[in-house]
Amino acid sequence: MSDEQTTRQWADKLAQAEPGAIVAWAAGEFGERLVLACSFSLEDAVVVDLWARVGVPRLFALDTGRLPEETFIAAEALASRYDLRIEWYHPEATAIEHLLASKGPLSFLDSLDNRHECCRIRKVEPLARALDGRAAWLTGLRRDQATTRTDIGVVEWDAAHRLPKINPLAGWTRADVEAHAAAHGVPVHPLHRRGYPSIGCAPCTRAVADGQHERSGRWWWESPEQKECGLHLRRPAVDPSAANI
């Protein structure tokens, strides 16, 4: 079982490594118990492309019930291009029914607590199920995506889920990701071409103007330090509703 100390040693060893080398190392180290949490963003598609060069990518996706149709189109394109089987995880039906019955379908607009509650039911709890039994998980996070991500490492201990989290693109810019995708024919999520640099649930994501920060279209009514959904907590989530989700 990987532990926090071993993860720190891996982080030191891989701090300056290229994304392809990091993905290859992870595939070799964790074998079939490595998984990518895939939103079908360009970053995640590039991680799939890097993984496909050294093995068979294994990925899961969270169907929150509020995803835009284009995300399913992107998923089909990625699965076809790399011959993938995607594991879809869904929120608990009873939790959704209770939320809708008690607060309605747009409660996330009313307060930060309500938004956290919606993300917790639709994303955080399914993520915990998706990661159960895995040895490590891969993401497409980059440091320059958000003020909440400036210090992420290429390998770090995920205290919330108690396993290593590997962010091979941590040091890449958006331009680096786009260049890799263009050079290798990686399928591009349709909304990226329509002004959506970052894509999440349909009601909480909008297009941004040229020059605006790439995550400014996510929960645009909140301040930058609040723009996380709980999937990438940096500390144990004893009470996710009180954490930065």
Residue nearest to ligand SF4 according to CB distances in the complex: 201
Q: Alpha helices of 83-205 — where are they, by DSSP H? A: 93-103, 112-119, 125-131, 174-184
In the block, tokens 């996380």 appear at 228
* Half-sphere CA count of 63, side-chain side, radius 13 A: 12
In the bound state with ligand SF4, the residue whose beta carbon lies nearer, of 49 and 125, is 125
Q: How far is Cα of residue 23 from the mean position of the Cα atoms in its chain? A: 16
Least distance CB 48 / ligand SF4 (angstroms) = 23
Please calculate the CA angle 20-25-30 and round it to the nearest 5 degrees: 130
Q: Is 118 a catalytic residue?
A: no
Under the phi-then-psi rule, with left for phi > 0, alpha for psi from -120 to 50, and beta for the rest, what region is 237? beta
Determine contact, residues 174/214, Cβ cutoff 8 Å.
yes
Ramachandran category for residue 160: left, alpha or beta (phi over 0 → left; psi -120 to 50 → alpha): alpha
CB of 169 to ligand SF4, least distance (A): 22
Q: Which is nearer to ligand SF4, 75 or 204 (CB)?
A: 204
Closest-CA residue to 140 (of 231, 214, 44, 228): 44
C-alpha 199, offset from chain centre:
10
Q: Which residue type, as a one-letter code, is found at position 209?
A: A
- Least distance from ligand SF4 to the Cβ atom of residue 55, Å: 31
Q: How far is the CB of 4 from ligand SF4 (least distance, A)?
A: 29
Residue closer to ligand SF4 (CB basis): 58 or 116: 116
Catalytic: which of 38, 118, 119, 229? 229
**Interface with ligand SF4 by CB under 6 A: which residues?**
64, 66, 108, 115, 118-119, 122-123, 200-201, 203-204, 229
- With tokens 């290859």, the residue in question is 24
Task: Identify which of residues 50 and 245 has a Cβ nearer to ligand SF4 in the complex.
Answer: 245
Question: Dihedral angle at the C-alpha atoms of 71, 62, 39, 103, nearest 10 degrees?
Answer: 70
170 or 204: CB nearest ligand SF4: 204
Closest separation between CB of residue 64 and ligand SF4, Å?
Answer: 5
Enzyme catalytic residues: 229
